[in-house]
């Protein structure tokens, strides 16, 4: 059942747990939870968000998962976190300092979890969080503690510049090399 308007308002500033596991190939990183995600406790849960369809189309998972199945991600070598922990209606409600502090926290998390790739979904937030104003979508030259860094398009339905197929194609580039 979808959250009510009251549920969404109650979710303002709430946080949701990271989805982590050992030996992650890719740790996806959103900007911050939406009110819908915080109300449901599931990442990228808002209807219209293209993360889950793109994840399947990319070939990183064998079928389209529902946000409520996020607990299955570590079994595919995948995880999810956010730059900023608190839920807002829109990412532009975050202060620039929250993104910078979130970038520092993210670097500590990556050092602890040690995924093969950190994939940040949102180039604008990445630019602020890591002081890289000229960053573009795709692999980055820098690493975080030896972890490869990749910037993906934001899968939010509000990001109309990127179609689902193009987001999925960028995600597909994250697949581990075949032995």
Q: By residue range, what is the domain housing residue 61? A: 24-173
Complete DSSP assignment for 67-90: GGGGGGGGGGTEEEEESS-S-BSS
- Domain count across the chain: 1
**Order of strands across the sheet that contains 117-121:** 78-82, 26-30, 117-121, 147-152, 138-144
Q: Is residue 157 situated within a structural domain?
A: yes
Q: Is residue 16 situated within a structural domain?
A: no
Instruction: Report pLDDT for 95.
Output: 95
Calpha distance 16→71 (Å, rounded)? 13
Q: What is the pTM for the complete model shown?
A: 0.96
Q: Is the pLDDT of residue 118 over 90?
A: yes
Q: Is residue 9 situated within a structural domain?
A: no
Q: Is residue 58 situated within a structural domain?
A: yes
Q: Is residue 32 situated within a structural domain?
A: yes
Q: Label residue 158 by pLDDT band (50, 70, 90).
A: confident
Q: What is the pLDDT of residues 122-138, one digit of tens each?
A: 999 999 999 999 999 99
Q: Is residue 136 situated within a structural domain?
A: yes
Q: Is the pLDDT of residue 153 over 90?
A: yes
CATH code of the domain containing 84: 3.40.470.10
Q: Is residue 146 situated within a structural domain?
A: yes
CB 166 within 8 A of CB 137: no
First to last CA, the chain: 43
Q: Is residue 4 situated within a structural domain?
A: no
């Amino acid at each position: 059942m979808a959250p009510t308007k009251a549920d969404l308002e109650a979710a303002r500033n709430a946080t949701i747990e990271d989805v982590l596991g050992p030996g992650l190939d890719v740790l996806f990183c959103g900007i911050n939870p939406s009110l819908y995600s915080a109300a449901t406790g599931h990442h990228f849960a808002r209807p219209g968000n293209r993360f889950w369809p793109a994840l399947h189309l990319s070939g990183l998972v064998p079928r389209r998962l529902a946000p409520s199945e996020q607990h299955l991600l570590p079994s595919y070598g995948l995880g999810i976190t956010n730059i900023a922990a608190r839920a807002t209606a829109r990412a532009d409600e975050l202060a620039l300092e929250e993104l910078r502090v979130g970038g520092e926290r993210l670097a500590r998390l990556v050092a602890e979890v040690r995924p093969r790739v950190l994939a940040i979904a949102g180039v604008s937030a990445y630019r602020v969080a890591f002081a890289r104003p000229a960053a573009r979508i795709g692999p980055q030259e820098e690493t975080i503690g030896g972890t490869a860094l990749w910037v993906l398009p934001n899968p939010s339905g509000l990001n109309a510049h990127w179609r689902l197929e193009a987001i999925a194609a960028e995600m597909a580039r994250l697949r581990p090399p075949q032995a």
